[in-house]
């Protein structure tokens, strides 16, 4: 759920950021060298249409978290959450131990003892599920903050690259069809790597020493409402 929400939010944010920058860039270019400046009371001129004819594709999520800055900040965030992950793992281990005890002693305990154990398991399960959800939401919020910060700096690069290379349309392939209207996009259309390369050069951030993917925020419970896998950010290098 968190991962899907992140992709949706990134897609919307990217759409507005890149579209706004494209319009601003177009509006800043006079339609004619001899065009007179508009008077203060005149309505602003309509930005000229985008003249490029090529279609390109970019994986916005992959570009953000595949950049050196994105990988570095995501690794930092994952390390920050390691104590919480260990705490949740200990809670999960304790819970599973109690469930095993109930299974092996089923029918051997008196009714009161069995009821007490079941109630303890139910209480701990509820507490654990809530803790997992809270950790996922907190991780997702901070992951989104990283993405938004990088997007604000990467969007102008996407616009500039598109204008300089004759692109009239750029589609986002972060989400697979049918979550996205894009059925398929060939590798020849993909501009993710050149955009990331340009961003890395501009940011000056060196590639992280570790190439390992960040660990999940929380262990996957084997049973109960918390059985949903925690959202792990996508950190694969862009194509």
Q: CA-CA distance, 183 to 57, in Å (whole number)? A: 12
Give the per-residue pLDDT at 41: 53
- Name the DSSP class of 4: H
Give the per-residue pLDDT at 229: 39
Give φ, ψ of 230 to 5 degrees.
-65, 150
Q: Residues 5-43: pLDDT tens digits?
A: 455 455 545 554 565 555 555 444 444 444 444 445 555
Average pLDDT over residues 145-150: 96
Sign, Cα dihedral of 129, 132, 134, 140? negative
**Higher model confidence: residue 80 or residue 227?**
80
| pLDDT reading at 213 higher than 80 | no
* C-alpha 58: how far from chain center: 14
CA atoms within 13 A on the CB side of 94: 15
Q: Residues 47-86: pLDDT tens digits?
A: 444 678 899 999 999 999 999 999 999 999 999 999 999 9
- Which residue ranges make up each domain of the chain? 2-14+52-206+217-227
Helices (H), 170-222: 192-203
Sign, Cα dihedral of 201, 205, 207, 213? negative
Give the per-residue pLDDT at 79: 96
Instruction: Work out the pLDDT band at 147, boundaries 50, 70, 90.
Output: very high
Q: CA-CA distance, 170 to 238, in Å (whole number)? A: 16
Q: CA-CA distance, 123 to 111, in Å (whole number)? A: 18
Q: Please say whether the beta carbons of 146 and 109 come within 8 A.
A: no
Record the tokens describing residue 111, joined without a space.
Answer: 């009714």
Q: CA-CA distance, 47 to 23, in Å (whole number)? A: 6
Q: Residues 163-191: pLDDT tens digits?
A: 999 999 999 998 888 888 888 888 889 99
């Amino acid at each position: 759920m968190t991962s899907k929400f992140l992709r949706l939010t990134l897609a919307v944010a990217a759409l507005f950021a890149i579209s706004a920058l494209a319009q601003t860039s177009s509006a800043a270019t006079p339609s004619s060298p001899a065009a007179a400046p508009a008077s203060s009371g005149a309505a602003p001129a309509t930005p000229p249409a985008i003249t490029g004819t090529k279609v390109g594709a970019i994986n916005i999520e992959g570009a953000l978290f595949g950049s050196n800055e994105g990988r570095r900040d995501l690794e930092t965030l994952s390390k920050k959450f390691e104590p919480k992950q260990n705490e949740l793992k200990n809670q999960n281990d304790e819970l599973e131990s109690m469930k095993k005890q109930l299974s092996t002693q089923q029918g051997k305990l008196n009714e009161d003892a069995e009821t007490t154990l079941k109630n303890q398991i139910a209480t701990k399960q509820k507490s654990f599920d809530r803790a997992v959800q809270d950790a996922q939401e907190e991780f997702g919020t901070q992951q989104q903050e990283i993405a938004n910060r990088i997007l604000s700096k990467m969007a102008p690069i996407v616009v500039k690259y598109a204008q300089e290379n004759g692109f009239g349309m750029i589609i986002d392939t972060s989400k697979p069809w049918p979550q996205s209207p894009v059925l398929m996009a060939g590798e020849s259309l993909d501009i993710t790597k050149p955009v990331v390369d340009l961003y890395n050069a501009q940011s000056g951030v060196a590639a992280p020493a570790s190439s390992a993917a960040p660990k999940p925020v929380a262990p996957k419970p084997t049973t109960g409402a918390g059985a949903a896998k925690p959202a792990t950010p996508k950190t694969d290098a862009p194509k």
